[in-house]
Amino acid sequence: MTNLLDVKSRTEIVTGDSREASPAYPLYSVAAITIAAFVGSPVAAAWLMAVNYRRTGQLDKAKTSLLVGFGVTFAALVVGYFVPDNLSLPLAVGLLSGARSMAKTYQGVLLEKHLSEGGAFESKWKALGIGLIFGVVYCALIFAAVYGFSK
């Protein structure tokens, strides 16, 4: 397993007559981050963005990403509790498009640079699995909160 904090990690690859250094760590693409947000919540998307930031040595941005993800998810829970049922779908679509937009805006250049240096992306299936884990935890917390308040 690769060290998530290893910024200098590179693997030599041979391309034609020359050798190039490519990043030895894969990153999560915007599509993978969007998939995690769809099945898991904004905090799942923020988690994958934080992984990208950690793998590229941007630890402050990784922490900020997680804080924003938890904050947005909490705010969505509170707002979702008070909005009428007919506004639930637009709220969910807004959260999903917001997560995609954040990933594209804040990591688009980073991801393009990573690819241009010969780096690879993590599997979207892995992102789906991580999103599902967050989704299960999210649903369990909602169930616990609703059950706890109804007593």
Query: Is the distance from CB of 14 to CB of 76 less than 8 angstroms?
Result: no
For residue 107, the surrounding DSSP H or E stretch is: helix 88-116
Residues 83-104 have pLDDT tens digits of: 998 998 999 999 999 999 999 9
Handedness of CA 136, 123, 30, 118 (dihedral sign): positive
Residues 32-82 have pLDDT tens digits of: 999 999 999 999 999 999 999 999 999 999 999 999 999 999 999 889 889
Q: Tell the burial category of 77 from Cβ atoms under 10 Å away from its Cβ (0-12, 13-18, 19+).
A: middle
Give me the amino acid identity at 90. P
Give the pTM: 0.81
